[in-house]
């Protein structure tokens, strides 16, 4: 019984360390950030119209 508890404690510590490491990597890569909110103009004007204005 003590061996089972010790094994579970070691496994949970390793999993926690891996999750912490992955969370740090995601933050460093910028993957954890949301894209900037879209403006009201983006919602009103279709994308093709925005591109046509930029092409002028």
Q: How far is CA 52 from CA 26, 39, 42, 47, in A?
A: 36, 18, 14, 9
- Reported confidence tier of residue 50, pLDDT bands at 50, 70, 90: confident
Annotate the chain with DSSP letters as a single string: -HHHHHHHHHHHHHHHHHHHHHHHHHHHHTTTSPPPPPPHHHHHS-HHHHHHHHH-
Find out whether 9 and 15 touch, Cβ atoms under 8 Å: no
Query: What domain range is 27 assigned to?
Result: 2-55
Average pLDDT over residues 42-55: 81
Q: Is the whole model's pTM more than 0.75, yes or no?
A: no
Q: How many domains does the chain have?
A: 1
Rounded CA Rg of the chain: 24
């Amino acid at each position: 019984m003590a061996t089972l508890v010790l094994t579970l404690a070691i496994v949970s510590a390793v999993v926690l360390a891996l999750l912490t490491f992955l969370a740090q990597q995601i933050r460093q890569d910028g993957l954890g950030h949301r894209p900037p909110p879209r403006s009201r103009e983006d919602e009103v004007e279709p994308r093709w119209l925005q591109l046509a204005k930029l092409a002028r």
